[in-house]
Structure 1
Amino acid sequence: MPDPVPLVVDLDGTLLRSDLLVESALAHARAKPLRALAPLAWLGGGKAALKQRLAEAADIDVAALPYDGRVLELIARERALGRRIVLATASHRLYAERVAAHLQLFDEVLATENGVNLSAGRKRDSLLQRYGHQGYDYAGNSADDLAVWATARRAYVVNAGAALQRRAEAHGNVAELLPPPSGGARLRALFQALRAHQWAKNLLLFLPLLAAHVLDHPARLAAGALAFLCFSLCASSVYLLNDLLDVGDDRHHRSKRRRPFAAGTLPLLAGVALAPLLLAVAFAIALWLLPWKFSAVLLGYYALTLAYSLTLKRVMALDAITLAGLYTLRLIAGAAAFAVPLTFWMLAFSMFMFLSLALVKRYAELREARHRGDQGQARGRGYFPGDLEMIASLGAASGYLAVLVLALYTQDRATVSLYRQPQLIWLACPLLLFWVTRTWMLTHRGQMHDDPVVFALKDRASLVVGALFAAIFWAAT
């Protein structure tokens, strides 16, 4: 005979490796950035009222949410035995009903509605009223679920820490433990979210120092190390914020869906807490130990990246120009930190070269969309797969213009005064032509990583070209 006792399953943190309250707040912030702080005012009406307003304001694609496969297996196993399955969640009913309709696994849905936040004691009381003491089994994950486990026949403890597991086991009814990811896995997910490998881009800060030929000044090198740290912390803060705001789009992307927030391997609240913390540390160091001009440039960098994350990345052409500008701002920040002049040639070379690389990134994304058969506008972008040929021509032209700027640089009077043999710099031009051409050919063939800078740091030919490039400039001095 089927077990007459229903299996009741929690949603946030249990069935779902995420939290719909945080998801909806982030979706609202992205859709209406000028009203991103409005939920703080809504909270004055209570948590249930906040969830109601967010559910009405923010659309979430429940089909792309990160579900816990182990809980789905538990539900499927018990459902196959003929048991009744109930979804009981503190999330709003609008979202809970969509999840239930998508999964087609639940016989009943209990959720927050009509001003009642269904969590902790309220959830327990609702279940006791329906099924009686020990008249249900319950799968949950948080301290709020202790009250519910206490009156359940059997408890399924999902993704709970060791301390919470011990408190749940004290009730003597734990039937199964589904442990959370290990500490090592969480740490790896954190480093992935911070994108520490992207810090290599911040080495651009040292280019003004190299161009000014004052690399042998210890004080300036120390300032460079601090500037590198500040920019890296600020960049990681931006990466966290960008991934939080883009979590919905990332789940539909071939590779970005494996990012920690999109995949649910790192809690969204961890990113919400870390992003402002890293930013505060970066500016504290900059204001205390570096010239004020560096802090001003860092503030401009953050403001531009914030605008990019919220709006500019969805505007055709302006997104690529903004990316090129963000790279160029690193050079400007380096000049401010080292108190050295920044030449017109370096700024012009940077804008053209990094515009070419930004278009490489867009081309790679659109080529993948065309390969999948998509014909509509790219999700979260201002481009269509049909724009590929135009993007390729614009990107290659921009890369070749960077080579032209380098060639003209060798004829500048200031250049002649800085180098003993400035004519040797001409040898760098064919090297750069080769690299730009090869990069675009590989992109055209579908062999380019989503981020061309990361690709260049791993590509053997790019590393050889970089070494020869540096050797030419060293010989010219």
Structure 2
Amino acid sequence: MAEDLPLCADVPLCVDLDGTLVRTDMLYETVLLLARRSPTSLFQLPLWLAKGKAEFKRRVAERVELDASSLPYRPDVIALVEEARGEGRQVVLATAASATVARNIADHLDLFDDVISSTDDVNLSGHHKADALLERYGEGGFDYIGNHWEDLPVMRHARRAWLVSDNGHLRRAAARSHAGPTWIEAEGGGLRSWIRALRAHQWVKNILIFVPLLAAQEVGNLSLVTMAVLAFIAYSLLASAVYLVNDMLDLTVDRRHRSKRNRPFAAGKLPISHGIMAVPVLVMLSWGIAAFLPVQFMIVLGVYTVVTTLYSFWLKQQVVVDVMLLAGLYTLRILAGAAATQIEPSFWLLAFSMFLFLSLAVLKRYSELRVTVTEGKELSGRGYLRADLPVLLTLGGGSGLISVMILAFYTQSEIVPEHYPARQWLWLVPPLMLYWVVRIWMKVNRGEMHDDPVLFAVKDWQSLVVFGCMGVMFGLAAMGLKP
């Protein structure tokens, strides 16, 4: 077996980059960096690609700044490289990536004696890489670590080979092309990683689509409930597509974050190429379902698509604008439900939701900024500074209190008796809401809440009790049971 061959100090160890040394593909990484830095440059990509893949890689790499320190490296491969260096062997980074990217990573790791990469004329993958290594080291004159089908021609000529993959078909093909390659587990994602990447848990926010239906007390109308359910599904699918885009554009930023670095794409558990392919599929499914709903819902869905796209590429970095947009996107969910069911929302509902969700959006940003300040860092990818903490605390807390005040005024408005004959029960709702708003702001100011506030509320038993009591109050008021 090749595993039993003694290591030879004269035999260099050649290491592939994409999917081997790092759990990602540097071509997709650099294209996404370019998309975030200069979205308009994406229109030039077809022109560059027409000149060849090697030229394409070079032009993209020249226009971005890669943070090699944040990449998801494979510890097993790093350990093999360090072992080879300890034995006095030459270690070579042999990659199809551009010379700029390869050299950046090699300089950061300081583990490689040489770098072989794509040139302006040759994309160094498959047979091109095999020919280059054969010309340098001869048949069986090198060891090789790879991960892809394109690495099989290289392994065929290596003295010893390692394959980083859990793909059964690829492993069997590698076994046929090379006598006894050593397997290294790829630690791939799977269904759980996809569920996390799609952020299915965030779909709970889309329950707001049912608010107009509840407010109008039409939950017994099967036709309207069906429309609301379809709207919920369509909105959730589109939201997941947006989450994928956000995560792929924020790879570098997320990798610097204490918890976001574990997201599937940032951690390299899911291939970026799969995420790029999933986005149009989700969008088409969403709009396909929306076609069965009123045109007003499709308009709202279009607004959501445009706003979230602008947010992903630019507006998320604009101070205050970002939290106002987040608040608006929450309210847009209510408008989506109203459009799907053709129920006109009241001014009171929209005003309450706008201030409440502005409070929650600011709370989320305040929590992120507070944690980074505590760790002695700056909030990456956002425009907020340490000095903004008191302003955010005031803005967020004040918005929450205004939402409670609007709710209190609503209980005494002229439209209430039409829907809630026993509106005395509603007088208990503002104090409950006040308690909840004050409590979550106290918790975040103490550093006791790091989750998205909506997700926190779903998991927090006190929040659930408060919302349950509020629901009971609205129910009793609607039934006309006098206290």
Per the alignment, residue 303 of structure 2 pairs with 300
Q: Retained in 2: the 8 A contact 1:28–1:54?
A: yes
Per the alignment, residue 437 of structure 1 pairs with 438
Partner of 2:266, secondary structure, is helix
Q: Retained in 2: the 8 A contact 1:8–1:85?
A: yes
1:316-353 deviations in Å (ceiling 9; x for gaps): 10000000000000000000111111110111001000
Partner of 1:91, secondary structure, is strand
One-letter amino acid of the counterpart of residue 210, structure 1: L
Matches within 5 A, 1:395-414: 395-414=396-415
Check if 1:164 corresponds to 2:167. Answer: no
Question: Pick from 115, 119, 124: which aligns with 2:125?
Answer: 119
CA deviation after TM superposition for structure 1 residue 37, in Å: 3.3
CA deviation after TM superposition for structure 1 residue 175, in Å: 3.6
Per the alignment, residue 24 of structure 1 pairs with 30
Matches within 5 A, 1:318-467: 318-374=321-377, 376=378, 378-467=379-468
Unaligned runs of 5+ in 2: 1-6, 479-483
Per the alignment, residue 94 of structure 1 pairs with 100
Per the alignment, residue 256 of structure 2 pairs with 252
One-letter amino acid of the counterpart of residue 173, structure 1: A
One-letter amino acid of the counterpart of residue 74, structure 1: L
Query: Percent identity over the alignment?
Result: 46
One-letter amino acid of the counterpart of residue 84, structure 1: Q
Structure 2 distance, partners of 1:44, 1:338, is 49
One-letter amino acid of the counterpart of residue 352, structure 1: F
Q: Retained in 1: the 8 A contact 2:429–2:470?
A: yes
Structure 2 distance, partners of 1:342, 1:35, is 42
Partner of 1:89, secondary structure, is strand
Partner of 1:15, secondary structure, is coil
Structure 2 distance, partners of 1:137, 1:419, is 78
Structure 2 distance, partners of 1:317, 1:47, is 41
Structure 2 distance, partners of 1:171, 1:277, is 36
Matches within 5 A, 1:24-173: 24-173=30-179
1:247-290 deviations in Å (ceiling 9; x for gaps): 11000011111101111111111110101110111001101x11
CA deviation after TM superposition for structure 1 residue 2, in Å: 4.9
Structure 2 distance, partners of 1:79, 1:312, is 47
Q: Retained in 2: the 8 A contact 1:157–1:174?
A: no
One-letter amino acid of the counterpart of residue 209, structure 2: L
Aligned residues: 472
Structure 2 distance, partners of 1:290, 1:416, is 31
Q: Retained in 2: the 8 A contact 1:9–1:140?
A: yes
CA deviation after TM superposition for structure 1 residue 160, in Å: 4.8
Per the alignment, residue 290 of structure 1 pairs with 293
Partner of 1:45, secondary structure, is coil
Per the alignment, residue 191 of structure 1 pairs with 195
Unaligned runs of 5+ in 1: none
CA deviation after TM superposition for structure 1 residue 34, in Å: 2.4
Structure 2 distance, partners of 1:16, 1:37, is 28
Q: Retained in 2: the 8 A contact 1:140–1:156?
A: yes
Per the alignment, residue 241 of structure 2 pairs with 237
Structure 1 distance, partners of 2:43, 2:36, is 11
Q: Retained in 2: the 8 A contact 1:365–1:450?
A: no
CA deviation after TM superposition for structure 1 residue 186, in Å: 1.8
Q: Retained in 2: the 8 A contact 1:410–1:416?
A: no
Per the alignment, residue 278 of structure 2 pairs with 274
Residues 216 and 474 of structure 1: is their aligned pair in 2 closer, same or farther, counting only changes over 3 Å?
same
Q: Retained in 1: the 8 A contact 2:417–2:423?
A: yes
CA deviation after TM superposition for structure 1 residue 305, in Å: 1.0
CA deviation after TM superposition for structure 1 residue 446, in Å: 0.5
Per the alignment, residue 475 of structure 2 pairs with 474
Structure 2 distance, partners of 1:339, 1:2, is 75
